[in-house]
């Protein structure tokens, strides 16, 4: 193919922020090969679907999308269709059986093989699978950033926790930490390019460095990153309570750039269910971490993840989760209905909860949490916060938005005085459950 003659690629990404970061590295490789990004899927010479398999419903959506693309392949025999990510790792060659029109299936540890596989596919028109998890988890690859002032920075891959409901350890492998020097090099380059905010990514960022066994840890990483000029904010996700420590919280507090937002998933307020989930901590220990964090970070915005309807969850256990919400009073909780995931221990457990009951419990959970979310946001009214401008809202170009250090979304009426990437003071006029409304302070 003559790449000077307008060769295009189209990427669709499902799932978590780690998948978003992976897609940026796929895009970077494609652009080095001479392709350009397009928003028109019909124009693409390469279509890449980066997948998630945390829930089987997500897999169903991906399979449906793959089926929809068959007509494009029939129309253009040279079109390359690639499926990557967690579902590619889990399904491997079964994807070719399900969708013979696919060309490439690339697993989670083989992102670096994209260029090689595209070249091979162009020469032979065969199907290619790359899903070997024995290869290193990290490779220094070019990235085509999808945002201008905000960047994802993976610091580790995989997970050793084996929560009984989660498929991640099986498709992402064991924990592998990225070398500290490579992370610092990337962040320095981002700062030089004008990026203001980075988000450190990992299935469990708190356990960063444990596999390196050289004294490197999440705390030392934070201290090293804090010294890089140009970066205004450092975010991190996701934390695991089992590996969060008081010393780690102290390191976050000491940083001038780490945000005041902490996402600390608890999943349930029942110790019995936490044990069945294999979470490795108790509600009491979690509460000690929260109390210490709030003592050290007075303006802390705390968010969490919660699962309702886990196998064996009784009404009494669910009530413990409601009691936890009332005790902790989160700024926001991301609530999920338990969905059996084939291949995980929880899918085989007895005491599966009916969908109707799971729906009822989810609504009850949200009813409690929404009260606190609204209360926290209303308490921000009349106060001024620094916000990094992200641009116009999706449905109204006259209103722009950005986020506070605490990760609260703020919307204001734009008057042409600011640009994307600016850090501006915004006064909060009205706190709503999910967003804040405000005005620019001149």
State the average pLDDT for the chain. Answer: 95
The pLDDT, as a whole number, for residue 433 is: 96
Choose among 198, 210, 278: nearest CA to 248.
210
pLDDT band (50, 70, 90) for residue 2: very low
Query: Collapsing DSSP states into helix, strand and coil, what is residue 269?
Result: coil
Question: Residues 171-214: pLDDT tens digits?
Answer: 999 999 999 999 999 999 999 999 999 999 999 999 999 999 89
Mean pLDDT of 304-328: 98
Residue 301: strand, helix, or coil: strand
80-85/46-51 β-pairing: parallel
Q: What is the pLDDT of residue 65?
A: 93
> Which percentage of the chain shows pLDDT scores above 70?
99
Residue ranges of the chain assigned to CATH 3.80.30.20:
150-379
Q: β-pairing, 423-431 with 436-440?
A: antiparallel
Is it the case that residue 56 has pLDDT exceeding 80? no
- Which string of b and e fits 279-288 if b means at least 16 CB within 10 Å? bebebeebee
Percent of the chain with pLDDT over 90: 90
Residue 52 marked in a binding site: yes
Alpha-carbon distance of 309 to 364, in angstroms, equals: 12
Is the pLDDT at 8 greater than 60, yes or no? yes
pLDDT of residue 408: 96
Q: What residue ranges of the chain are covered by domains with CATH 2.40.50.140?
A: 381-440
Q: How many CB atoms lie within 10 A of CB 317?
A: 17
Name the token pair of 6.
């307008």
Hey, which bits of 232-383 come out as E strands? 233-237, 261-263, 301-308, 332-337
Is 163 known to sit in a ligand binding site?
Answer: yes
- Is position 166 annotated in a ligand binding site? yes
- Say how many Å lie between the first and final Cα of the chain, rounded: 54
β-partners of residue 385 are 426
CATH superfamily of 150-379: tm_1862 like domain (3.80.30.20)
CATH 3.40.50.12160, the chain: domain bounds? 8-130
Is the model's pLDDT at 4 over the cut of 50? no
Classify 8-130 by CATH class.
Answer: alpha beta
| Per CATH, domain 381-440 is 2.40.50.140 | yes
Let me know: does 233 contact 259? Beta carbons within 8 Å: yes
Average pLDDT value for residue range 102-107: 97
Comparing 375 with 136, the larger pLDDT belongs to: 375
**Alpha carbon 419 to chain centroid distance?**
26
Residue range 346-378, pLDDT digits in tens: 999 999 999 999 999 999 999 999 999 999 999
| CA geometry: angle 59, 64, 68, nearest 5 deg | 145
Band (1; pLDDT cuts 50, 70, 90): very low
Hey, how many other C-beta atoms are within 10 angstroms of the C-beta on 61?
A: 13
427 is known to lie in a ligand binding site? no
Confidence of residue 5 (pLDDT cuts 50, 70, 90): low
**Confidence bin at 392 (pLDDT 50/70/90):** very high
Classify each residue of 379-389 as buried b or exposed e, where b means 16 or more C-beta atoms within 10 Å of its C-beta: ebeeeebebbb
Q: What is the DSSP letter of 179?
A: P
| 34-44 residue pLDDT tens | 999 999 999 99
Tracing tokens 């990026």 back to the chain, one arrives at 195
Can you give the pLDDT at residue 58? 80
Q: Identify which of 313, 314, 308, 294 has the alpha carbon closest to the alpha carbon of residue 367.
A: 308
The verdict on whether residue 53 carries a ligand-binding annotation is no
Phi, psi of 397 (to 5 degrees): -65, -15
Residue 139 — very low, low, confident or very high, per pLDDT cuts 50/70/90? confident
The three-state secondary structure class of 396 is coil
Q: How far apart are CA 268 and CA 306, in angstroms?
A: 6
């Amino acid at each position: 193919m003559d790449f000077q003659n307008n060769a295009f690629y189209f990427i669709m990404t499902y799932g978590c922020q780690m998948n978003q970061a992976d897609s940026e590295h796929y895009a970077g490789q494609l652009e080095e090969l001479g392709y350009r990004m397009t928003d028109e899927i019909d124009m693409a010479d390469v279509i890449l679907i980066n997948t998630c398999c945390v829930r089987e419903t997500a897999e169903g959506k991906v399979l449906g999308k793959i089926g929809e693309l068959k007509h494009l392949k029939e129309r253009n025999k040279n079109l390359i269709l690639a499926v990557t990510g967690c579902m590619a790792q889990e399904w491997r060659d079964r994807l070719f059986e399900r969708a013979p029109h696919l060309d490439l299936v690339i697993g989670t540890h083989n992102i670096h093989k994209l260029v090689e596989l595209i070249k091979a596919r162009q020469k032979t028109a065969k199907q290619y699978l790359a899903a070997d998890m024995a290869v290193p988890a990290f490779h220094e690859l070019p990235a085509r950033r999808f945002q201008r002032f905000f960047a994802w920075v993976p610091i580790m891959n995989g997970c050793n926790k084996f929560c009984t409901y989660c498929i991640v350890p099986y498709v992402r492998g064991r924990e592998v930490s990225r070398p500290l020097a490579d992370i610092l090099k990337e962040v320095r380059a981002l700062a030089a390019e004008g990026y203001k905010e980075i988000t450190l990514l990992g299935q469990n960022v708190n356990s960063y460095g444990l596999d390196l066994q050289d004294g490197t840890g999440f705390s030392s990483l934070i201290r090293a990153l804090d010294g890089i000029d140009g970066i205004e904010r450092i975010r991190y996700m996701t934390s695991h309570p089992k590996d969060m420590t008081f010393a780690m919280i102290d390191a976050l507090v000491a940083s001038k750039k780490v945000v005041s937002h902490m996402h600390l998933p608890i999943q349930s307020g029942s110790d019995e269910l936490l044990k069945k989930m294999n979470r490795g901590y108790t509600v009491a220990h979690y509460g000690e971490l929260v109390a210490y964090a709030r003592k050290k970070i007075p303006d802390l915005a705390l968010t969490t993840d919660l699962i309702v309807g886990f196998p064996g969850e009784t009404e009494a256990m669910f009530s413990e989760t409601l009691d936890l919400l009332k005790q902790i009073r989160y700024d926001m909780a991301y609530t999920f209905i338990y969905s059996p995931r084939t291949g995980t221990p929880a899918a085989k457990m007895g005491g599966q909860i009916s969908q109707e009951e799971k729906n009822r419990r989810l609504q009850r959970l949200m009813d409690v949490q929404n009260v606190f979310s609204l209360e926290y946001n209303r308490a921000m009214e009349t106060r001024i916060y620094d916000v990094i401008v992200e641009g116009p809202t999706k449905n109204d170009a006259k209103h722009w938005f950005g986020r506070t250090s605490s990760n609260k979304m703020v919307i204001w009426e734009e008057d042409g005085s600011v640009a994307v990437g600016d850090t501006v003071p915004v006064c909060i006029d009205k706190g709503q459950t999910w967003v804040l409304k405000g005005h620019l302070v001149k």
